[in-house]
């Protein structure tokens, strides 16, 4: 999957979440994190981000509430605790840790299959895990969020 395709998938997830009135939480940096915030701002949803470092200006331009945690990757635990549903899009080792932390903390996890990176591996791995939903489009991801949180369509 190309970087552009991944960025567009994340943009679409953010946009659909915002259209449905959800607050979007992310790690606040570039790539997928930027795309999802940018998408959310297209429909004027609130975006919240937990940075690993100490400075407000490490956030991308589409974050409304920047929270510098100073915790390094331990901030991943807060990313998932702050969220009612966690959506995994592409990603690397940090994303892998967030899938583990989200499940350890009993958060719903949705994996966007076809988005590359760790998410594609995890889609295979967790295919049989009842705590994980594997979907293959941004639309289905956001429908799953609505269903999990009992929000009407």
In the complex with its own copies, the residue whose CB is nearer, 71 or 137, is: 71
Q: Pairing mode, if any, of strands 65-68 and 47-51?
A: parallel
Q: Where are the alpha helices (DSSP H) in 20-153?
A: 32-42, 75-81, 93-104, 117-125, 138-148
Which of 12, 45 has the CB closer to its own copies?
45
Shortest Å, Cβ 121 to its own copies: 5
Q: Minimum distance from CB of 144 to its own copies (Å)?
A: 20
**Which residues are near its own copies by CB under 8 A?**
23, 46, 48, 54, 65, 67-74, 76-78, 81-82, 92-101, 103-105, 121, 125
Instruction: Give the three-state DSSP class for 65.
Output: strand
Least separation, in Å, of the C-beta of 149 and its own copies?
12
SS3 percent helix, strand, coil of the chain, rounded to 5, is 50, 15, 35
């Amino acid at each position: 999957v190309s970087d552009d395709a991944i960025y567009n998938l994340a943009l679409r997830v953010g946009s659909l979440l915002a259209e449905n009135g959800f607050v979007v939480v992310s790690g606040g940096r570039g790539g997928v994190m930027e795309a999802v915030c940018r998408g959310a701002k297209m429909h004027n949803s609130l975006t919240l981000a937990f940075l690993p470092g100490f400075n407000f200006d490490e956030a991308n331009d589409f974050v409304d509430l920047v929270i510098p945690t100073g915790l390094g990757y331990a901030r991943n635990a807060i990313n998932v605790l702050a969220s009612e549903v966690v959506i995994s899009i592409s990603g690397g080792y940090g994303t892998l840790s967030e899938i583990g932390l989200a499940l350890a903390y009993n958060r719903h996890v949705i994996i966007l299959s076809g988005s590359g990176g760790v998410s594609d591996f995890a889609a295979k791995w967790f295919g049989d895990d009842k705590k994980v939903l594997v979907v293959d489009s941004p639309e289905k991801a956001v429908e799953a969020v609505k269903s999990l949180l009992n929000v009407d369509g």
